Structure 1
């Protein structure tokens, strides 16, 4: 049950065969137990002779020791003495002194613990491999107006595939025809299907990660009730899902800090145990007992001192934690990220797109001179809907959803006034929308009251634009990148999980940052930061709080995420940069997933700690007890192997983790 690398050599032996297929090891272990109990009972009631009993115990030995012996042999040839070696020696010693039943019990429980460990690791791996089975194997492609089914490996970038209702989507790409609600749970973990529609501009497509998410589909997600046509933008080997599988399978190579310490500990611990056992064998030279009694004590101590539970305590918890996260659409790259997340108390957030929606919304419409509001809004809509400026698009989009707007009324002769705003003709009158400079150019003066309104809106982070007709000031509209609705509640939950400092890092003005931070419940905001300033801020916070996580949307925050202890990317589906640089990637852009990840890491950390206490505690109690003769080999075996089984089952609890358990 040795270390993890060792566990792997064994997993190779187990998974590829054996006469009962992948479950052979577990079945062998159960057979060892059946022969042991059967023989022990027959022997106790004196139904069988001693030679026959020994013969049956040997059968139990065979089934219980088969895999451990293979592994011990493989390792010993390389000159590595590991736990399997100690167990085989103990079992042979037990047979030598006639304690056949105890030796068989040792091998039965050892093999059972080992089989359970591999079952745990396989279960975790299976939930990761399940990701791989999500991808369909074929796709329907349009060929001269006819549908043709081809293997997904043959798809080329630029092909158009047709996805039937309720079918799996076969490639990462963009919808060019149709609309549908797509179930993205397999990748992002979101339980509610997401509405997706065809993209309108196909000629100059931006790079994949820059395309608006409501036009993009991913391999392995499931189409709703409508037929859609998708233009393939990534080959199956580069698709989001194959990147995911690739990364999750590499997770095991990122050893966690506890695993590294445990590994070092085992390196000197196993030789120490072997020396102790050899010394105990010669106790009969010093104290009054026979060689067999000394040997018996040495074997008991050997069983008690084997650090099986210790070796498996961390890897089993890390794998279960990572597998659970993958089920929920969160990629955690290895034990280091999992453990670090479990201990930190400070998180830094990027503002735009992480804490906020990432797109401006219309926040205020104020009319100054008694003009009916409907008329004012209609005029603003007619002008702004003609402009391509992002803020104008946001205003017209939000106005369209308000009552009483006639979307067919449009302004004419629209012109951008550089650095000031726009002007256009609506109902034969000139309308201006822009900043104060635009009004100065019209020789319109702002009253103190209006200046105050503008000032307070800007302090709160709004971008305000004044609206004038001919030479009369009519009112103002303001837009703002508003905080996500779920953010305040998410931050509260993080606080309850023990995250005491939450800091916003933003390129926006300090006033804007502070206003938003106050509104959503952050502890601190730092504004006016360029990407390189964010890196400096992270370094400085790391000095102050020793560990810090950085949450961003992965593209422009990559440098800051790379220099933090744990980089967390949101909305990582489809973004290669985010998947590469982040230690933790939330596949959906839902910030409310964050407490789940932090909670899971905290639970994993707790379980790793519990496992270490259980495994080291049992060794610390059993070794002295066996040396002074208080515990015989049967007790040593039961406690020692029992602790291993408890540790594995404890780690498996993580596979059922949700925000409310553990």
Structure 2
């Protein structure tokens, strides 16, 4: 109804103005046409006056007050046409602004529209169609081809493909099978899935995204705060200036014209419209920006610090090598002792060893495993490894520093081998049983195929340095860093060391973005100027706490986010410059060039629309061209793995029993 009324008012006012002109051409008393013109001014001006009154009650002198005073003054002076023209143009300008501003919020509207109204659930063995909001946690939801997923959940049965572009920004549908996660608002493009509902209603990832985008688009950027303060002084200043001009010149109509010309409409709207458009565009790409403040800060980033595991790599390490150095042990025994010790460790690499041992035990089932169970005691040595008590024996697993600390003899061969494996990008773990070196294990994490392209794109976006922060040893870090093209590598870091690195970079004058998983690197993420959480889809904590959350696994969204932030800030500056130049020229035109009230209002409303249209350029999809080119390059290249096949061949004899 508000939208209809907004368009109806300028239509009625315009019709009355047209009628007044026609009556002026007919042989009727001038009073009739003047009455029509005044009626046009009242119809268009009453909502403006009402808004001005409300603002005054809140002790705010706004644009509406300037227009109200000018139009009332024009009527008092008998300038009915000027009064009608000014209020009509202001009303039609408001209607056009409302329509175009709604387009800048199109991303949020589209997100809200993604939420399905109904869900197909399985209750008592029957398929029932219910309201999506009535689905309960733990229920089984059926997702058929073409249907929109109504809840967040885990696939229990079935296979299919899901278009997750609305959540992660990924254009290619994702294959889903038992155990995989699905999100509300995504669309099935094939197959049939039975999904166990884990989050419903306001708890879904989509709901968190909508909430975050709503808050972000309403948040105030530092530049906007400055402009708001400026406007708070500028608008009353124009009112005072008009009074002074009227008193000095004795020309009341000139003073009223000055009020209209001085309206800072384009200035007031220049910043928020750009922020809304920029954050909306980011949401379309699967990038959540917490607010205008972080959008502006992201545009100033000079250094990007990235965690290795889970960011540059997939975060799913696998055991690649088992080299036996103690002839009294078999390959299966070395792996088994190591797995039992690592079973009590929280280190990310421990899982790879335990899983590999389980597979090895299954293959060697005929012989049976000699040692089974969990460690009786385990001590983690930060930066070195672990010391465990297993079945009454002592097992050490770690790097050469751990062996030196425990005065283990005969480690030269193990150290040389560990260095060779590390040079190939694998993480070596030396296994010691009761003071004797048993063997060396190697674990590798696959480098993401788009990691190198991300670094190139960051440099192209103006980032002067990309720093890798990792707890891995120097050789592994150097191998991964060289492959990806990292500018600076910091290895063997503890969480507090990463914090110190980020603090040091900021102390050197850099604006630092820290990219991590949002949990393990929490201190560094919190200390950085911008904390960026990777692959935040499904993680409500990451969505709510990160300054910027990349919903998908696509690393190219990181440079895309920085590039979008910089384009948004450029648009903000362009809008402010345009608004200021327009106001200055109009004021000069009124005082020295004879600009009329009608002409000034026409230019004023045109400048407002130009500012909005300029901001709407951010909604265009041209920013994805670089991303598409990078994806084509990735798909044309062979799948990057660590270790490479050539490296495996080189070490074939070394790892063979």
Q: What is the TM-score when the length of structure 2 is the normalising length?
A: 0.79
Aligned partner (choices 84, 99, 103) of residue 119 of structure 1: 99
Cα contact 2:306–2:312 (8 A) shared by 1: yes
Q: Is residue 2:106 matched to residue 1:145?
A: no
Q: Secondary structure of 2:188's partner?
A: coil
Aligned match of 1:296: 253
CA contact under 8 A between 2:260 and 2:600: conserved in structure 1? yes
Contact 2:333 2:370 in 1 (8 A): no
Cα distance in structure 2, aligned partners of 1:33 and 1:566: 50
Aligned to 1:186: 166
- Alignment partner, residue 374 of structure 1: none
Are 1:320 and 1:654, in contact at CA under 8 Å, matched by a contact in 2? Answer: yes
Distance in 1, Cα, partners of 2:503 & 2:280: 31
Q: CA deviation at 1:639?
A: 2.2
Quote the residue 2:457 is aligned against.
493
SS at match of 1:556: coil
The number of equivalent residue pairs is 589
Offset at 1:258? Answer: 0.9
For residue 87 of structure 1, the aligned residue among 67, 73, 81 is 67
8 A contact 1:39–1:56 mirrored in 2: yes
Choose 129-138 or 571-580, whichever is displaced more: 129-138
- Contact 2:279-2:289 within 8 A present in 1 as well: yes
Name the structure 2 match of 1:258.
Answer: 223
Change (3 A) 1:361 1:81: same
Hey, what's the Cα distance between the residues in 1 that align with 2:555 and 2:366? 39
Question: 1:245-284, aligned counterparts within 5 Å?
Answer: 245-284=210-249
Tell me, yes or no, if structure 1 residue 26 matches structure 2 residue 11.
Answer: no
- Alpha-carbon RMSD across the aligned residues, in angstroms, is 4.1
Describe how 1:68-107 pairs up with structure 2 within 5 A: 68-107=48-87
**Cα offset, 1:39, TM superposition:** 4.7
Which residue is 2:421 aligned to? Answer: 457
Seen in structure 2, the aligned counterparts of structure 1 residues 355 and 163 have a Cα distance that, compared at 3 Å, is same
Assess, with a 3 A threshold, how the Cα gap between structure 1 residues 38 and 365 changes in structure 2: closer, same or farther: farther
Counterpart residue number, 1:156: 136
1:514-529 to structure 2, matched below 5 A, reads 514-529=478-493
Instruction: Choose 218-227 or 387-396, whichever is displaced more.
Output: 387-396
Correspondent of 1:346 among 298, 303, 327: 303
Partner of residue 649, structure 1? 613
Query: Aligned partners of 1:466 and 1:277: how far apart in 2?
Result: 83
Residue number among 390, 413, 432 corresponding to 2:369 in the alignment: 413
In the other structure, the counterpart of 1:614 is 578
Q: What's 1:638 paired with?
A: 602
Compared CA separation, residues 638 and 410, structure 1 to 2 (3 A):
farther
CA change 1:58–1:446 in 2 (3 A) is same
The reply to whether residue 51 of structure 1 matches residue 36 of structure 2 is no
Q: Which residue of 2 aligns with 1:165?
A: 145
**Does the aligned pair in 2 maintain the 1:356–1:484 contact within 8 Å?**
yes
Partner of 1:308: 265
Q: Deviations over 1:157-197 (max 9, x none)?
A: 22222222322222111111122211111211211111121
- Judge which range, 638-647 or 503-512, deviates more: 503-512
Structure 1 pair 148/88, CA: closer, same or farther in 2 (3 Å)? same
Query: CA distance change for structure 1 residues 632 and 186 in 2, over 3 Å: closer, same or farther?
Result: same
Separation in 1, partners of 2:18, 2:332: 87
Between 1:649-658 and 1:266-275, the stretch displaced more is 649-658
Of the structure 1 ranges 486-495 and 409-418, higher mean CA displacement relative to structure 2 is found in 409-418
Q: CA deviation at 1:606?
A: 0.6
Q: 1:224 to 1:366 in 2, by over 3 A?
A: farther
Q: Distance in 1 between matches of 2:338 and 2:122?
A: 40
Mean Cα deviation higher: 229-238 or 453-462: 453-462
Counterparts in 2 of 1:167 and 1:409: CA distance versus 1, 3 Å: farther
**For 1:324-343, what aligned pairs fall within 5 Å after superposition?**
324-343=281-300
**Which of 332, 338, 351 is 1:390 aligned to?**
351
Q: C-alpha separation between the residues in 1 aligned to 2:45 and 2:472?
A: 66
Alignment of 1:465-614 (within 5 A): 478-614=442-578
Q: Deviations over 1:355-374 (max 9, x none)?
A: 11111256679999xxxxxx
Q: CA deviation at 1:111?
A: 2.2
> 1:446–1:332: structure 2 CA closer, same or farther, 3 Å change rule?
closer
Change (3 A) 1:408 1:160: farther
SS at match of 1:246: helix
Q: Tell me the alpha carbon deviations over residues 441-491 of structure 1, each in whole angstroms, 9 at most, x when there is no partner.
A: xxx99997x975542321454135799xxxxx9x99844113211011111
Post-superposition offset of 1:532: 3.0
The structure-2 alpha-carbon separation of the partners of 1:560 and 1:26, relative to structure 1 and needing over 3 Å to count, comes to farther
Contact map agreement 1:39 1:57 (CA 8 A) in 2: yes
Contact map agreement 1:535 1:560 (CA 8 A) in 2: yes
Contact 1:152 1:170 in 2 (8 A): yes
Alignment partners' CA distance in 1, 2:239 and 2:625: 42
Change (3 A) 1:46 1:540: farther
Preserved contact between residue 457 and residue 556 of structure 2 (Cα < 8 Å): no
Give the structure 1 partner of residue 188 of structure 2: 223
Aligned partner of residue 504 in structure 1, secondary structure? strand
